[in-house]
């Protein structure tokens, strides 16, 4: 056993990454990090109905759908990998936190899921000096028995992939494509969604919410594809650059202290103000704490200050496909009617 109590993982050992929650924000970083450390990475299969159900059985009722899905993904990785990686991501940005449930997640998993493979846990906390993504990443590499130089190289590769991934997302590329671009080390697409006008005056709909709700079709019941099928062009809150988020956020009397809440709030403000979109959908997990606050401020502000159509869509493991489709169709119909009435300007 190597120092720090981490199991000895030889060259080519497989580390499992649960495809849930912050996977949708940090996957390229983890992947580049572990691969540079001569380890292999296996991602659990896409979220399915069965997987959510198996997770929901182990989780407490009060937990939200994405957390239940995370349980399911960890359970799906059992017996398939040499170790499972469960980062405790406390903060990704100074002055913000992720979510209390994510802070306790590794402990919740440990005490509620049996037959776990060895787990690699590390606390990533940008609010504390020397505990950030990079510093803890180096410490993790060292604890996995690698040299300091190799660990630093791994973190550098991780950041390079992460930056490429984020720039691709900001240009309007989907999660899968952005992750693939980052993995191949290719350049960022030059076309920017902000410059592209929609053909035929198709309505442009902003989908705002947590990355794991926007990007996981198993959790959001394939919402993005359904919207596209209704003739809507979809832009998401993940398509704003960090700089845009910072500018919008600092203009607020009090910045939101949840990192994704901060992004959601900034996206709502920016989309609304600049007329970048013709309608807005906020996708919320049932009983989501941060979104109950952020969503309320966003909705009230939007109603008061603009005529932009706004819909809050709540999802959980009981959400029926037909009900969701009906609501989306009604929303899209309303947008198309608006287009006809206003001659394509939606204003």
Residues in contact with another protein by CB under 8 A are 1, 4-7, 59-60, 62-63, 83, 88, 90, 95-101, 103-104, 106-108, 110-112, 116, 118-123, 125, 130-131, 135-136, 139-140, 143, 253-254, 256-258, 284, 286-297, 300-301, 304
Q: Is there a contact between 43 and 70 (Cβ–Cβ < 8 Å)?
A: no
CA distance 58 to 75: 10
Nearer to another protein, 54 or 136 (CB): 136
Q: How many CB atoms lie under 10 A from the CB of residue 199?
A: 7
In the complex with another protein, which residue's Cβ is closer, 201 or 289? 289
CB of 7 to another protein, least distance (A): 5
Least separation in angstroms between residue 97's CB and another protein is: 4
Judged by beta carbon, residue 44 or residue 98, the one nearer another protein is 98
Shortest Å, Cβ 326 to another protein: 20
- Among residues 94 and 340, whose Cβ is nearest to another protein? 94
The residue among 30 and 258 lying less far from another protein, judged by its C-beta, is: 258
DSSP letter, residue 116: P
Q: Indicate the angle between helix axes 289-305 and 259-273, nearest 10 degrees.
A: 10
Give Cβ neighbours of residue 159 (< 8 Å, ≥ 6 apart): 29, 133, 134
Q: Shortest gap between Cβ of 285 and another protein (angstroms)? A: 9
Evaluate whether 265 touches 249 at the Cβ level (below 8 Å). Answer: yes
Q: How far is the CB of 5 from another protein (least distance, A)?
A: 5
Q: How far is the CB of 24 from another protein (least distance, A)?
A: 19
Q: Based on CB atoms, which residue is closest to another protein, 116 or 276?
A: 116
Q: How far apart are CA 161 and CA 164, in angstroms?
A: 5
Assess contact for 155 and 124: CB atoms under 8 A.
no
3-state secondary structure of 203: coil
């Amino acid at each position: 056993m190597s120092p720090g109590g981490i199991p000895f993982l030889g060259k080519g050992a497989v580390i499992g990454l649960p495809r849930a929650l912050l996977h949708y924000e940090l996957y390229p970083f983890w992947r580049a990090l572990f691969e540079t450390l001569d380890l292999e990475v296996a991602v659990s299969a896409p979220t399915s109905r069965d997987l959510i159900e198996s997770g929901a059985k182990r989780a407490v009722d009060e937990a939200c759908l994405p957390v239940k899905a995370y349980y399911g993904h960890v359970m799906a990785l059992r017996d398939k990998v040499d170790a499972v990686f469960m980062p405790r991501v406390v903060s990704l940005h100074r002055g913000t936190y992720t979510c209390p449930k994510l802070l306790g997640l590794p402990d919740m998993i440990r005490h509620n899921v049996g037959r776990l493979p060895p787990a690699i846990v590390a606390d990533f906390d940008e609010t504390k000096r020397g505990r950030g993504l990079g510093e803890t990443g180096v410490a993790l590499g060292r604890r996995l028995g690698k040299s300091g130089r190799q660990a630093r190289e791994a973190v550098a590769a991780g950041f390079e992939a992460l930056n490429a991934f984020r720039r691709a997302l900001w240009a309007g590329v989907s999660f899968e494509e952005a992750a693939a671009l980052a993995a191949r080390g290719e350049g960022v697409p030059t076309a920017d969604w902000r410059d592209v006008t929609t053909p035929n005056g198709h309505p442009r709909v902003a989908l705002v919410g947590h990355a794991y709700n926007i990007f996981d079709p198993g959790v959001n019941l394939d919402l993005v594809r359904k919207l596209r099928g209704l003739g809507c062009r979809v832009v998401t809150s993940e398509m704003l650059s960090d700089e845009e988020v910072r500018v919008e956020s600092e203009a607020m009397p009090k910045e939101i202290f949840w990192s994704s809440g901060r992004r959601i709030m900034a996206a709502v403000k920016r989309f609304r103000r600049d007329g970048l979109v013709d309608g807005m959908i906020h996708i919320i997990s049932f009983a989501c704490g941060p979104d109950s606050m952020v969503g309320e401020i966003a909705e009230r502000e939007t109603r008061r200050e603009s005529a932009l159509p706004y819909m809050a869509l709540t999802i959980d493991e009981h959400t029926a496909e037909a009900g969701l489709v009906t609501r989306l169709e009604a929303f899209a119909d309303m947008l198309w009617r608006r287009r006809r009435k206003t001659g394509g300007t939606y204003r």
